[in-house]
């Protein structure tokens, strides 16, 4: 008889919301969750991020290493510093959290047991040999736990390519009807400069907090003294990240424009803002497409995460 694995971390349930951090094999367990969860909270990007974290759960044993049992790995987001400690008590439960999780769990189990995809490992392998798309992870994300958006790999490739197409067409749409092809190339060159500007800002925004953490660890020897007081993490790392992101702005005070202000009939400030905006738009579009192509799952850019 086919089995399912629903792994909850039940000893630490002080958080209001849970998150599906892993699902599989294939995409259908996440689809069942999307169709049945009363308070959905899931993101396909979490499967990539969870693989980087130096930790593990029983889900991998059931679904990957030994059992090949389909299921979901669901974790709670808040109160992790109480997990497996003497402070992990019933008194820390938030009102309504168990009821909400129970409502979700009951609907998910019913949906799994009624799903036509619930097969044993041999049947799934035979089906995957015929339909290879069953093994591909889908893209899904929730909006404030109100509803969950779910679409397949093929749809993701199509949808996530639209912003990149818009980025390449933007210079033509903005300049060609009035100023011709030469101005379009100059505009696109400025967009590339804006992309480079944002790339340096993002890289420095990551490097600075990492460097600060390494230096602090060398002098203090306490790597996670912020864990039980989350606001300290913002105070320690956010200023460093903001400082790194502002360095290109301070060093690049005069944005080198390729476009001729007198020809375009726009102020320099407007052209600089336009170049930075479309540069950021193009950078995130390229990152999304590259991630879709080279990742086994789809770590996408979601505005409403």
pTM, full prediction: 0.74
- Asked if residues 71 and 62 have their Cβ atoms less than 8 Å apart, the reply is yes
> What mean pLDDT do residues 221-243 have?
79
Reading the block at residue 257, the tokens are 């424009």
Q: What is the pLDDT, as a whole number, of residue 120?
A: 65
CA 67/CA 56 separation, integer angstroms: 16
Q: Is it the case that residue 275 has pLDDT exceeding 80?
A: yes
Q: Is it the case that residue 277 has pLDDT exceeding 90?
A: yes
Q: What is the pLDDT, as a whole number, of residue 45?
A: 81
Provide, rounded to the nearest whole percent, the portion of the chain with pLDDT above 70.
Answer: 80
CA 91/CA 142 separation, integer angstroms: 29
> What mean pLDDT do residues 191-220 have?
90
Q: What is the pLDDT, as a whole number, of residue 6?
A: 57
Q: What is the pLDDT, as a whole number, of residue 180?
A: 80
The beta strands (E) that lie in 85-197 are given as 139-143, 147-151
CA 112/CA 114 separation, integer angstroms: 5
Q: Give the pLDDT band (50/70/90) at residue 192.
A: very high
Q: Residues with Cβ < 8 Å from 83, sequence gap 6 or more? A: 9, 11, 12
Q: Is it the case that residue 268 has pLDDT exceeding 80?
A: yes
Measured torsion, CA atoms of residues 158, 163, 164, 166, in degrees rounded to the nearest 10: 120
Q: Which of 166-170, 236-240, 261-265 has the highest mean pLDDT?
A: 166-170
* Chain centre to alpha carbon of residue 117: 27
Q: Give the pLDDT band (50/70/90) at residue 303.
A: very low
pLDDT per residue as tens digits for the range 38-80: 888 888 888 777 777 766 777 777 777 776 778 888 877 776 6
Q: Is it the case that residue 276 has pLDDT exceeding 80?
A: yes
Angle at 224 between CA 221 and CA 227, to 5 degrees: 155
Provide, rounded to the nearest whole percent, the portion of the chain with pLDDT above 90.
Answer: 20
Q: Is it the case that residue 10 has pLDDT exceeding 80?
A: no
- Asked if residues 18 and 75 have their Cβ atoms less than 8 Å apart, the reply is yes
Taking all residues of the chain, what is their mean pLDDT, rounded to a whole number?
Answer: 79
Q: Give the pLDDT band (50/70/90) at residue 204.
A: very high
> What mean pLDDT do residues 6-22 have?
60
Q: Is it the case that residue 191 has pLDDT exceeding 90?
A: yes
Q: What is the pLDDT, as a whole number, of residue 301?
A: 39
DSSP three-state, residue 24:
strand
pLDDT per residue as tens digits for the range 134-172: 556 788 888 888 888 998 888 888 898 999 999 999 999
pLDDT per residue as tens digits for the range 169-187: 999 988 877 778 888 999 9
Q: Is it the case that residue 208 has pLDDT exceeding 50?
A: yes
Q: What is the pLDDT, as a whole number, of residue 304?
A: 33
């Amino acid at each position: 008889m086919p089995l399912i694995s629903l792994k909850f971390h039940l000893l630490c349930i002080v958080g209001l919301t849970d998150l599906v951090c892993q699902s599989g094999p294939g995409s259908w367990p996440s689809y069942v969750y999307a169709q049945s969860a009363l308070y959905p909270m899931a993101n396909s990007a979490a499967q990539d991020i969870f693989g980087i974290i130096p930790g593990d759960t029983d889900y991998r044993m059931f679904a990957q290493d030994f059992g090949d049992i389909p299921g979901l790995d669901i974790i709670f987001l808040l109160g992790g510093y109480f997990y497996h400690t003497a402070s992990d008590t019933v008194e820390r439960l938030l009102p309504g959290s168990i009821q909400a999780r129970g409502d979700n769990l009951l609907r998910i189990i019913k949906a799994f047991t009624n799903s036509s995809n619930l097969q044993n490992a041999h049947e799934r392998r035979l089906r995957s040999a015929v339909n290879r798309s069953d093994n591909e992870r889908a893209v899904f994300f929730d909006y404030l736990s109100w509803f969950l958006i779910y679409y397949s790999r093929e749809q993701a490739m199509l949808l996530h390519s639209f912003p990149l197409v818009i980025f390449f067409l933007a210079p033509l749409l903005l300049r060609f009807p009035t100023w011709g092809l030469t101005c379009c190339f100059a505009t696109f060159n400025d967009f590339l400069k804006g992309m480079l500007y944002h790339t340096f800002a993002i890289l420095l925004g990551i490097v600075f907090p990492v460097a600060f953490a390494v230096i602090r660890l060398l002098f203090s020897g306490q790597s996670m003294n912020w864990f039980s007081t989350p606001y300290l993490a913002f105070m320690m790392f956010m200023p460093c990240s903001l400082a790194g992101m502002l360095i290109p702005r301070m060093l690049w005070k005069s944005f080198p424009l390729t476009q001729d202000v007198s020809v375009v009939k726009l102020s320099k400030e407007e052209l600089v803002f336009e170049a930075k905006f479309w540069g950021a738009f193009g950078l995130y579009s390229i990152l999304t497409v590259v991630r879709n192509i080279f990742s086994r799952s789809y770590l996408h850019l979601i505005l409403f995460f």
